[in-house]
Structure 1
Amino acid sequence: MKLQCVDCKNTYSMDDFQYQCECGGLFDIVHNFNGVDTEKLKHTFQERLAERMTPLASGVWRYKELIFPEVQEEHMVTKYEGNTGLYQSAQVRTYTGMKENVLLKAQSENPSGSFKDNGMAVAVSHGRSLGYNKFTCTSTGNTSSSLAMYSSMAGCKSYVFVPNKNISMNKVMQTIAYGAKVFSTEGKYDEGIEFLQQYSEELGLYVCNSINPFRIEGQKSIVFEIAQYLNWKLPDWIVVPGGALSNSTALGKGLQDLYELGFIDKLPRVAIVQAEGASPFHRMMATGSPYEPEREPNTVASALNIGNPPSWKKAARVLKETDGVTVAVTDEEILNAKAVIDQSGIGCEPASAATVAGLKKLVDHQAIDKEEQALCILTGNMLKDTDVLKKYHTEQHVFSNPIVETLLTKEEIAAEL
């Protein structure tokens, strides 16, 4: 394994681990997969589905050879993350206009309730292998709660920076409950990243944001698990929400690994969905204009409320490699899609629902053929933001389901049946 800069392509040894190149670019982790026996690994991954109470029971560490083969078991942190459900939904299929069943990968079923666990298990494990016992991140919520959980599991401390507006307090309370020290800041998510880039080394903190390439390596496991569940035959499209764009980056990196090693025989196309109020990446890709951060991001989907996603260059590479597309959706489109997902019995937080809202818009605009197959990644649990739930169902929206006040008479109840 070695580090390679996304921008200048310079490489560095893992003995010189850092988050950014001297030129300012982010790093990829480059593996030496020479001699990998794909069929043997398929068999190994299948056998590990029977593991219990060992790190290899994890839906991340199951794929250890493709993620972090050098890690020692004593440093591996796990809460058996991954192993999340892959569902079909007739309601979602009808809503999006697709003829084939739409698959939903419910990363919301992870231990802390979001897809961040896949990457965080690996990042914290790597930090431990370097001797760190203090971990940090800046977050709109899901990253912080995941980091706090894994740090506590490892017997370590965590220090979290969150913006003081446009976030879900459910996620902040979860972070506090897991034992993290939380700092509320006047600035935006992006300013927290800049602070950690400048001072983390001096403060003895190991950074677990998506600027850390080990986070991306862990999140690759999401697509590994999808491919294994589908017997190594992926759908035509994978649709992912775009906040910090780490999930898009990890998805693309995992797809390239699978394709180059012969686990899959074709690359699916990737669609990245942003909220209209925080869509600098979509704006750049749709118009061909230079990248410009969103100065005042604003969306009800707090996990997407990022005006300057640090992984935008990596995400652009993913779209080029997969002939992918971007789309932006309104808050109302997100909330209506969320209601459909919730009422299908699966459920998700608003940012997750952006994938289904985006799929619907792409089908409506004929960018995705309704005859194709699509998979939407749901990134967070529906209870991550109960304020949004309450507001939607107590106001007039397309799929509102208000509570019925009753004097408990038979006639009243019969009228509602």
Structure 2
Amino acid sequence: MSQARFACLQCPKTYDWLDLRYACDCGGLLEVKHDDPALRKLPELAEQRLTSRKPFDRSGVWRFREAVLPLPESMIVTQPEGQTPIYQSAALNQWAGHSRLSLKHEGENPSGSFKDRGMTAAVSMAKRLGMPVVACASTGNTSSSLAAYAARAGLKAIVFLPAGKVSQGKMAQTLGYGAKGLAIRGDFDDAMQIVRDLAAAGRVYMVNSLNPHRIEGQKTIIWEMLQDRNWEAPDWIVVPGGNLGNTSAFGKAIDEAYAWGWIQKKPRLATIQAEGANPFFRSYSRDFASLEPITAETVATAIRIGHPVNYPRAVKAILSTNGVVTDVTDAEIMAAKLAIDHAGIGCEPASAATLAGVRKLVKKAVISADEDVVLVLTGHMLKDPDAILKNGTLDCTEIDAKAEAISRALDSL
């Protein structure tokens, strides 16, 4: 079993990783540190587990469990998650002006988004700590995932959502799994503060990505991708940026994989934000001098966040990987989404920010057209069906059920 501890990002203080806490006494964010030298050989063990019939061995998270959370198997709450595919598409290469794109589709997790990776870790910890009520603030994907995993664990789930700002698909999932929904007259950042206050008072176990165990689950997106590539690291990994949990997790995953000798080079991270929800990009443009929260508005609801709580972790990730941050317009996001959908892959709008961002970075010569690039798609296309149905270019024509009408329709194709 690996050795683990909490370490503060702002001061030298450390804590037991089983402590019920979300931050250091100084207020700094925490991360889980793993110190077992045997972790250098974990890729070999993870490979062996692929042939196991145990759900937690097949999980894309728990096959790496010694470097995620060293929990007893009886405490693991899994669906199982992960094992998501990597796609290539000549059409998307052409659209982006690139030649070597791959798309890791985390929307093919059990609840339809990457959140399942972090949620299996966070809910397993809630079970281990004996916390009967779990809670989150959410723009929709976190709440859907929490509701599913809480139901699996037999825990009560409460989700705080910005009223009128969550897609019907995500809301239906959340309530269908049995969570209690509370719609806040405010935005995500207001909901996040409520959950933080409740967690500080000990009334709920918070599973938002402020919880360092969430980050441990999400970093396996990178490790699974690397395992599927025989541990050959790409030149770039591109991810949407909202609350910046994935940026933080990806940077940690890359640092650990490199330090433990799993990979021979560090991929560069590119975080893509929506222009209407871009506080991280604005900070990057000022050399990370400060973070200035904004009122966020974008069609990409999953990243409609104006005050990302993972900012310090994400800054560390970008600096550690010599990464970049940029933003794209809603029009660019929806154009990229249309391209991904028409390639037969599909995604929700926030995911498409990655392809739009690559196209922009290729045009600016930040990414070379022949570099090896992996885009992470974070959510399934059915997470936000309204974004598809409101697209004026869709072709569904009502006709009479008669041979002549059918023939005319076919002739017009």
- TM over 0.5, yes or no? yes
Distance 1:15 1:77, change over 3 A: closer
1:402 paired residue number: 395
Q: In angstroms, what is the RMSD of aligned CA positions?
A: 1.4
Worse overlay, 235-244 or 2-11: 2-11
1:14 paired residue number: 17
1:119 to partner: Cα distance: 0.6
Q: Secondary structure of 2:390's match?
A: helix
Instruction: Find the aligned partners of 1:31 and 1:252 in 2 and give their Cα distance.
Output: 15
Q: For residues 204-219 of structure 1, what are the structure 2 equivalents within 5 Å?
A: 204-219=203-218
1:5 paired residue number: 8
1:403 to partner: Cα distance: 1.2
Q: Secondary structure of 1:166's match?
A: coil
Q: For residues 13-412 of structure 1, what are the structure 2 equivalents within 5 Å?
A: 13-38=16-41, 41-69=42-70, 71-100=71-100, 102-288=101-287, 290-392=289-391, 395=392, 400-407=393-400, 408=402, 409=405, 411-412=407-408
8 A contact 2:137–2:160 mirrored in 1: yes
Instruction: Find the aligned partners of 2:51 and 2:180 in 1 and give their Cα distance.
Output: 37
8 A contact 2:258–2:265 mirrored in 1: yes
Instruction: Find the aligned partners of 1:36 and 1:367 in 2 and give their Cα distance.
Output: 34
1:391 to partner: Cα distance: 0.6
8 A contact 1:275–1:329 mirrored in 2: yes
1:204 to partner: Cα distance: 2.8
Q: Secondary structure of 1:36's match?
A: helix
* Structure 1, gaps ≥5 residues long: none
Instruction: Find the aligned partners of 1:414 and 1:193 in 2 and give their Cα distance.
Output: 51
Instruction: Find the aligned partners of 1:287 and 1:405 in 2 and give their Cα distance.
Output: 53
Instruction: Find the aligned partners of 1:186 and 1:163 in 2 and give their Cα distance.
Output: 6
2:409 maps to which of 400, 410, 413:
413
8 A contact 1:281–1:291 mirrored in 2: no
Worse overlay, 375-384 or 165-174: 165-174
Q: Secondary structure of 1:326's match?
A: strand
Worse overlay, 199-208 or 278-287: 199-208
Instruction: Give CA-to-partner distance per residue, 1:90-131, whole Å, 9 cap, x none.
Output: 11111110022x100010000000000001001100111111
TM normalised by structure 1 equals: 0.95
TM normalised by structure 2 equals: 0.95
1:133 to partner: Cα distance: 1.7
8 A contact 2:243–2:303 mirrored in 1: yes
* Structure 2, gaps ≥5 residues long: none
Instruction: Find the aligned partners of 2:19 and 2:288 in 1 and give their Cα distance.
Output: 36
Identity, % of aligned pairs?
Answer: 43
Distance 1:416 1:291, change over 3 A: farther
Consecutive aligned runs of 4 or more in structure 1 exceeding 4 Å deviation: none
Instruction: Find the aligned partners of 1:362 and 1:174 in 2 and give their Cα distance.
Output: 35
The one-letter code sitting in structure 2 at the alignment partner of 1:78 is T
1:16 to partner: Cα distance: 3.1
Worse overlay, 51-60 or 312-321: 51-60
8 A contact 1:135–1:157 mirrored in 2: yes
The one-letter code sitting in structure 2 at the alignment partner of 1:72 is P
Instruction: Find the aligned partners of 1:175 and 1:302 in 2 and give their Cα distance.
Output: 16
